[in-house]
Chain A
Amino acid sequence: MNAFRAIVFAAVVAGLATGLAVTVIQQFGTVPLILKAEVYEKAAEHHGAAAPAIPSGSMTTVGHGHGEAGAAHEHAAEAWEPRDGLERNAYTAGANVLTAIGFALMLAALFAFRGGGAGATVSWHDGLVWGLAGFVVFTLAPSLGLPPELPGVPAAPLLSRQIWWVMAAAATAAGLGLIFLRATAPAAIAGLILLMLPHVIGAPELTSVETNVPSSLAHQFVVAVALTSLVFWSLLGALTSIAYAYFDQSSAAVAPARPSGA
Chain B
Amino acid sequence: MAQSHTAQLPAIGSDVSRLAQCALALALGLFIVGVVGFSHIDVVHNAAHDVRHSNAFPCH
Task: Given A150-B53, A258-B13, A259-B13, decide whether A106 and B21 contact each other with a Cβ distance below 8 A.
Answer: no
Q: A39: shortest Cβ distance to chain B, in Å?
A: 15
Query: Is B22's CB under 8 angstroms from A3's CB?
Result: yes
Q: Which residues of chain A are within 8 angstroms of B7 by Cβ–Cβ distance?
A: 259, 262
Closest to A30 in B: B54
CA distance A255 to B29 in the complex (A): 25
Closest to A108 in B: B25
CA distance A77 to B37 in the complex (A): 20
A43 in contact (CB, < 8 A) = no
Task: Given A112-B22, A116-B18, decide whether A80 and B46 contact each other with a Cβ distance below 8 A.
Answer: yes
Query: Is A109's CB under 8 angstroms from B13's CB?
Result: no
Chain A interface: which size bin?
35 or more
Q: Which secondary structure dominates chain A's binding surface?
A: helix
A126 in contact (CB, < 8 A) = no
Query: Is A79's CB under 8 angstroms from B42's CB?
Result: yes
Query: Is B13's CB under 8 angstroms from A95's CB?
Result: no
Partner of A82, one of B28, B29, B33, B47: B47
A31 in contact (CB, < 8 A) = yes
Closest to B32 in A: A102
Query: Is B53's CB under 8 angstroms from A109's CB?
Result: no
Q: A191: shortest Cβ distance to chain B, in Å?
A: 20
Q: Which residues of chain B are within 8 angstroms of A159 by Cβ–Cβ distance?
A: 40
Task: Given A3-B22, A142-B56, A155-B58, decide whether A88 and B50 contact each other with a Cβ distance below 8 A.
Answer: yes
Contact with A along B8-50 (1 / 0, CB 8 A): 0110111101110111111011111100111010110111111
CA distance A225 to B40 in the complex (A): 22
Closest to B56 in A: A148
